[in-house]
Amino acid sequence: MSELKQIFKRGLLLIASTLFSIPAFAVREYNLPEPASTITREIYDLHMLTATVATIIMIIVTGIIVYALIKFRKSTGYQADQNFNHTWFGRWSWALVPAIVLGIDFSVAGSAVKTLGNIESHDPAAVTVKVTGSQWKWTYDYMEDGVKIVSNLNKDIPSTDDLYLRDVDNRLVLPINQRIRFLHTATDVLHAWWVPAIAYKKDSIPGYINETWTMIDKEGVYRGQCAENCGTGHAYMPIVVEAMSEANYAEWMNEQKLAMVAAVAESSADKTWPLAELMERGEKLYNTNCAGCHMPTGTGLPGVFPALKGSAVALGDLAKHNEVVLKGVAGTAMAAWASQLNDLELAAIITYERNAWGNDTGDAVQPADIKAAR
Amino acid sequence: MSEATIHDDHHDHHDHKPTGIGRWLFSTNHKDIGTMYLIFALVMLFLGGASAMVLRMELFMPGIQIVDPDTYNNLLTNHALIMVFGMVMPAGAGMANWMIPMMIGAPDMALPRLNNLSFWLLPMAGTMLILSMVVSYFPGTGTPVNTGWTLYPPLSVQSGMGMDFLIFTIHILGISSILAAINIVTTIVNMRAPGMTWFKLPLFVWSWLFTGLLLIMIMPVLAGGVTMLLFDRHFGTSFFDAAGGGDPVLFQHLFWFFGHPEVYVLLLPSIGVLGLIIPTFSRKPLFAYKPLVWFMAALTALGMVVWAHHQYTIGMSLNATTYFMIGTILISIPVGMMLMSFIFTMWRGAMTFETPMLFGIAIILMFSFAGVTGVMLAVVPADLQYHDSYFVVAHFHYALIPGSVFGLYAAVFYWLPKWTGHMYNETHGKIFFWWTTLSFNLTFFPQHFSGLAGMPRRIVDYSPQFADFNYLSSVGGMLFGLSHLLFLYIIIKTVKGGEKAPANPWEGSMIGTTGLEWTLSSPPPFHSFSTPPSVK
Ligand SMILES: [Cu+2]
């Protein structure tokens, strides 16, 4: 019940602060963003067509009603025409509006069906990206190149900055002027990947693979966010796409591949990692991967996400701790991390959890331990 | 008129009005039960409105202001469920209870004891609903219900104990609605006075016939869907779990098979009310009454087979998507015909602008607007952009607030004199009209734009690029919420006293909507018609 008191108190504060700070109006975006791909441009045109038709209909309807309101008022002495319903018009005009509406409907549906056909065309694509939604981050797999990018909210941006909740640590990088195919799926609950300027949305559904496509025609950075309610962190799943020339893209892809090889080598190197180094790496990895639920302070969210600070698992048997992190806990938001992070990364995170916030087990978990536990 | 007075005298010595709490607990009287439905709806209106105001306060500016994300979505879920199941449906049922027997010349509802049960299930369901919101703040009960009213799995499988309370709430509500619907349909079919043929029925009665039929068809599907959810949560089934061979999208189909017709359940009674108010204050009978009834039937039928337009993004086949798109666009035909019928009723009428009529006109305009944004949304490629954005939030609030809630307000003003025997204060009524209508538009009009600009729904926090529209929305939302205090004041004041209302308080209804309800005194005798009235 302290919850209620809290709400009330903050509500009062909010009202007080409003009175002193009416924000300055500078409306920037009020329509779909300027399209930067062929398919979203086609959708944009369709949207403008239907919006125009809608506006015209509203103007006509409003016009008729306003005219009636001025003309047919009792206060001006107007007598109701009791014959109106029995005239030829009164008997047959009920068919009139449906006929007009049907005409409008067919013209709208006609262009819609054409665009829909283009959306559902499955032409071969140059780049295929599997987009996986998880609570609460996006994972991008470049299917041809075997490169994987995990994209989390950039938490360092203050709520006054335009990029607040619209920036990530790792962007999805794509080439322009090439057909790109997205395969959408999810690991836990529903999500929806939506970047209005370049990509319409289809839901990410566990157990399903949905397909969308785009062909970006302008270099630039495009932003969006998760559109399907996915729970606590739904507001915190932004998407950033960077579109670059084909040459730059190829170069970028090469760097990623090299970095990947280096990471694998490092993780499987026959080396005993000292506690301090594991802690340093672990802190960073924990903050991007786990802190969304378990909180940077390890205190979790009472009743929803367990605290790791002082938790029996984090202080107890290492095998149990490894198992929870590697395999997850079925039926809860705790995902299986075995396929998402490599041995070294997992070793670092688990070491961190066992030694941070006053959890002082002194354990320095090694990549080899993780490998054995997999 | 003189006939009505005779009725009165005739009735008075038959009125053995039960007294005390027993009158209400064991009531089988359609007017008393109607009153209880209406009071229940009014209480829920304030609960649902208060939760919406907390949401709007939270969205006042970027950053977390007063509630955490789960509490936000918990309130959001309950706001919707309270408004849909706790407010609009009971209010509609209350009006059906009050007015249908009087309109068709019946002594009472066909099944008075069932009527009692269907009402008294509601306070239980309401309590369960509130528990579902509160329970998660006790330790060990898991995540609050943070799914939104659609309750989509797998998220709803993750939720804590609140979800179980919610599932049982829906069961009870479902039973209540089905019983009420059976009762209303039976009453309309069986209890009409001699001479009250089908095409003499007031539009309100027709609209409730269709609403009742819809309810009987759709509520069991929702109940089945949430029961499967309950089994997935606790008994190891995997109806909706892909990992166990189930299908998360199946739930969406079940939900929207209920959910889309449910929109008409909310809407039709108010359309029926408009079919009385517009002719009354235009002093001219309803234009194209018979075609209107047929188009309403068509709307009911069409409404049953277009549900998947809420799910264009799930990846259906091209054929299925195209079918649902065309079906949905075609809905504009019956809806357009209805609005046309109201506009042509006003045409060459002699209009006056009492509060119910002001609402009536505003509804026609704003509901038309919801209609045209509805056609925009029906267009699949464009919906792949609009879906789950604030554009949708704006659209359905334009459909449901003018389309059904304002219709109920109009009905309250139209019938308050009949119900209470007192006229309400017209100046207060007009102030309430302008206050709600303007603040409603200030709240929801800007949301079309924040949605187009890319703001998804059901988020607790947003980027400053959406701040300006949200600021307007929040200011509007506060004003809109507060306007209802005036509404409450007007109702209480009218119940308590005021200028005495005649049997027929509206001059125009003698020409526009002559009906049996006006032959009874205001307020009507405890038992409406104990001998069938004659219908010319
Ligand atoms: Cu998401």
pLDDT at B111: 93
* Chain B neighbors of A97, CB-CB under 8 A: 336-337, 340
Beta carbons of B284 and A3 less than 8 Å apart? no
Tokens of B240: 């909706």
CA distance A328 to chain B (A): 14
* Chain B neighbors of A30, CB-CB under 8 A: 449, 452-453, 469
* Chain A neighbors of B140, CB-CB under 8 A: 303
Q: Name the residue among A11, A303, A333 with its Cβ closest to that of B158.
A: A333
Beta carbons of B242 and A210 less than 8 Å apart? no
Task: Flag whether pLDDT at B482 surpasses 60.
Answer: yes
What percent of chain B has a predicted confidence (pLDDT) above 70? 97
d(CA A309, CA A156): 23
Q: Name the residue among B321, B340, B388 with its Cβ closest to that of A228.
A: B388
Beta carbons of A3 and B71 less than 8 Å apart? yes
Instruction: Provide the pLDDT confidence category of residue B2 given band limits of 50, 70 and 90.
Output: very low
- Name the CA dihedral angle for A292, A294, A295, A300, rounded to a multiple of 10 degrees: 130
State in Å, rounded, how far the first CA of chain A is from the last one: 44
Task: Flag whether pLDDT at B17 surpasses 80.
Answer: no
* Chain B neighbors of A161, CB-CB under 8 A: 464
Looking at the DSSP assignment, which residues form a beta bridge with residue A72? Answer: none
Q: Which residues, 6+ apart, have CB-to-CB distance to A253 below 8 Å?
A: A142, A145, A147, A173
Max CA distance (Å), chain A: 99
pLDDT at A7: 61
Beta carbons of A210 and B315 less than 8 Å apart? yes
Q: Name the residue among B140, B463, B468 with its Cβ closest to that of A26.
A: B468
Q: Which of A67, A58, A89 minimizes the C-alpha distance to B346? A: A67
Quote the ligand 1 centre to A133 CA distance (angstroms): 6
Beta carbons of A164 and B463 less than 8 Å apart? yes
Residue pair B345/B511 in contact (Cβ under 8 Å)? The answer is no
d(CA A356, CA A348): 12
Residue pair A212/A129 in contact (Cβ under 8 Å)? The answer is no
Q: Which of A164, A236, A171 minimizes the C-alpha distance to B465? A: A164
* Chain B neighbors of A331, CB-CB under 8 A: 157-158
* Closest residue, chain A, to B322 (C-alpha): A113
Residue pair B323/B306 in contact (Cβ under 8 Å)? The answer is no
Label the pairing between strands A137-142 and A147-151: antiparallel
Specify the higher pLDDT residue, B115 or A11: B115
Q: Name the residue among A65, A205, A225 with its Cβ closest to that of B361.
A: A65
pTM metric for this prediction: 0.89
d(CA B201, CA B162): 44
Q: Can you tell me which residue has the tokens 């100046």?
A: B427
Beta carbons of A80 and B348 less than 8 Å apart? yes
Per-residue pLDDT tens over the stretch A300-313: 887 778 899 988 89
Q: Which residues, 6+ apart, have CB-to-CB distance to A329 below 8 Å?
A: none
* Chain A neighbors of B256, CB-CB under 8 A: none
CB pairs under 8 A between A and B: 335
* Chain A neighbors of B368, CB-CB under 8 A: 57-58, 61
Beta carbons of B346 and A228 less than 8 Å apart? no
Looking at the DSSP assignment, which residues form a beta bridge with residue A37? Answer: A216
- Judged by DSSP in three states, A182 sits in strand
Q: Name the residue among A53, A189, A229 with its Cβ closest to that of B148.
A: A229
Beta carbons of B65 and A14 less than 8 Å apart? yes
Best B65, B73, B158 residue to mutate vs chain A (most A CBs within 10 Å): B158
pLDDT at B90: 95
Q: Which of A282, A310, A306 minimizes the C-alpha distance to A293? A: A306
Beta carbons of A54 and B376 less than 8 Å apart? yes
Q: Which of B321, B334, B332 minimizes the C-alpha distance to B295? A: B334
Among left, alpha and beta (phi > 0; psi -120 to 50; other), residue B136 is alpha
d(CA B86, CA B92): 11
Q: What is the ipTM of this complex?
A: 0.89
* Closest residue, chain B, to A115 (C-alpha): B381
d(CA B308, CA B310): 5
Beta carbons of B454 and A33 less than 8 Å apart? yes
CA distance A271 to chain B (A): 38
**CA angle B373-B379-B383, nearest 5°?**
80
Residues B307-339: b if buried by 16+ CB within 10 A, e if exposed:
bbbbbbbbbbeeeebbebbbbbbbbbbbbbbbb
Quote the ligand 1 centre to A235 CA distance (angstroms): 8
- Provide the sign of the torsion angle of the four alpha carbons B433, B436, B442, B443, taken in this order: negative
d(CA B169, CA A186): 30
* Chain B neighbors of A37, CB-CB under 8 A: none
Quote the ligand 1 centre to A196 CA distance (angstroms): 16
Domains in chain B: ranges and CATH: 33-519 (1.20.210.10)
Question: B154: cis peptide before it, omega within 30°?
Answer: yes
Instruction: Provide the pLDDT confidence category of residue B243 given band limits of 50, 70 and 90.
Output: confident
Looking at the DSSP assignment, which residues form a beta bridge with residue A172? Answer: A241
Tokens of B241: 């779990």
Quote the ligand 1 centre to A163 CA distance (angstroms): 18
d(CA B371, CA B444): 15
DSSP letter, residue B388: T
Per-residue pLDDT tens over the stretch B182-220: 999 999 999 999 889 999 999 999 999 999 999 999 999
Q: Can you tell me which residue has the tokens 């007075």?
A: B5
* Chain A neighbors of B248, CB-CB under 8 A: 190, 205-208
State in Å, rounded, how far the first CA of chain B is from the last one: 15
CA distance B77 to chain A (A): 12
pLDDT at A5: 62
Instruction: List chain A pLDDT tens, one digit each, 374 residues.
Output: 456 566 666 665 555 555 444 444 444 678 899 999 999 999 999 999 999 999 999 999 999 999 999 999 999 888 888 888 888 888 888 888 888 888 888 888 888 999 999 999 889 999 999 999 998 899 999 999 989 999 999 988 998 888 999 999 999 999 999 999 999 999 989 999 999 999 999 999 999 999 999 999 999 999 999 999 999 999 999 999 999 999 999 999 999 999 888 888 888 877 888 888 899 999 989 988 888 889 889 998 877 788 999 888 998 889 999 999 999 887 778 888 988 888 899 999 999 999 989 888 888 899 888 988 88
Instruction: Provide the pLDDT confidence category of residue B155 given band limits of 50, 70 and 90.
Output: very high
Label the pairing between strands A238-244 and A172-175: parallel
E strand or H helix at B259, and its extent?
helix B248-282
* Chain B neighbors of A26, CB-CB under 8 A: 468
Beta carbons of A112 and B382 less than 8 Å apart? yes
* Chain A neighbors of B148, CB-CB under 8 A: 229
Side chain identity at residue B391, one-letter code: F
Quote the ligand 1 centre to A51 CA distance (angstroms): 29
E strand or H helix at B472, and its extent?
helix B467-496
Beta carbons of B379 and A23 less than 8 Å apart? no
Beta carbons of B346 and A81 less than 8 Å apart? no
Best B255, B280, B385, B455 residue to mutate vs chain A (most A CBs within 10 Å): B385
Q: Cα–Cα distances in Å, from B460 out to A229, B62, B179, B353, B455?
A: 11, 9, 38, 41, 11
Q: Name the residue among A95, A206, A236 with its Cβ closest to that of B248.
A: A206
Q: Which residues, 6+ apart, have CB-to-CB distance to A183 below 8 Å?
A: A128, A129, A130, A131, A143, A209, A210, A211
* Chain A neighbors of B381, CB-CB under 8 A: 42-43, 46, 112, 115-116, 119, 200
d(CA A110, CA B468): 36
Quote the ligand 1 centre to A293 CA distance (angstroms): 14
Task: Flag whether pLDDT at B6 surpasses 90.
Answer: no
